[in-house]
Amino acid sequence: MTIHREGFPTIALVTLVLVAGNALSYYFLYATCTGCFVALLAVSLLFWGFILSFFRVPARIHTIAENSVIAPADGEIVVIEEVQADEYFSDRRIQVSIFMSPFNVHVNRNPVSGTVRYSQYHPGQYLVAWHPKSSTENERHTVVYEKNGREILVKQIAGALARRIVNYLQPGQSVRQTEEMGFIKFGSRVDLLLPLDAVIKVKIGDRPLGGVTEIATW
């Protein structure tokens, strides 16, 4: 397991704040309330461990499959339904949504190999990630991939806690399946819009692993 580069500034800031806070608590509390100091120290260490865990990149054997759409994120499948596309496409698509809690791995990966045809950031609100309107009203970044003349859309969506979406892709760029496409900080959601003839391989409640689990074939 490694730590993602997006985490280094946050980890450094949190470390400085916690060290300073523990130094002050030691100065003011250790002599008069040792138990209070120990409790605060334990809480700060747990929080520091959580921050490290959030930015983890676990070692995995990724799934490379020519006709498969691989999960772009860890999390839980919360939506599988036919929808009217509201960006880039004008037809109906199958939407598969993955909810990412703060405890999931938050690296986002390319679901297919191909060419990036569209990459657009949208500012917006911070509704909870499972809210139906989060796909259209929250801060988000949309990417469309083309492979063999067919296209799929991936939408990174900020949640109530997420305050920064990172996306590394540019239109015209050639990408490989399961390589990094971005990162979302502190709880979020990723939507996939697939062609209607895609064969869905997951169900509501499943917990896919980014870069590993097959979401659909097309």
DSSP 138: B
CB contact at 8 A, 187 and 161: yes
DSSP 160: S
Quickly tell me which residue has 């070692």 as its tokens: 59
Q: Which residues of 50-86 are buried (b: 16+ CB within 10 A; e: fewer)?
A: ebeebbebeeeeeeeeeebbbbbbbbbbebbeeeeee
What are the φ/ψ torsions at residue 178 (nearest 5 degrees)?
A: 75, -5
Q: Are strands 107-109 and 114-122 parallel, antiparallel or unpaired?
A: unpaired
Q: Which one from 25, 113, 134, 188 is the annotated catalytic residue?
A: 188
| Radius of gyration (C-alpha) of the chain in whole angstroms | 20
What are the φ/ψ torsions at residue 137 (nearest 5 degrees)?
A: -115, -20
First to last CA, the chain: 32
Catalytic-residue membership of 53 = no
- Catalytic residue numbers read 188
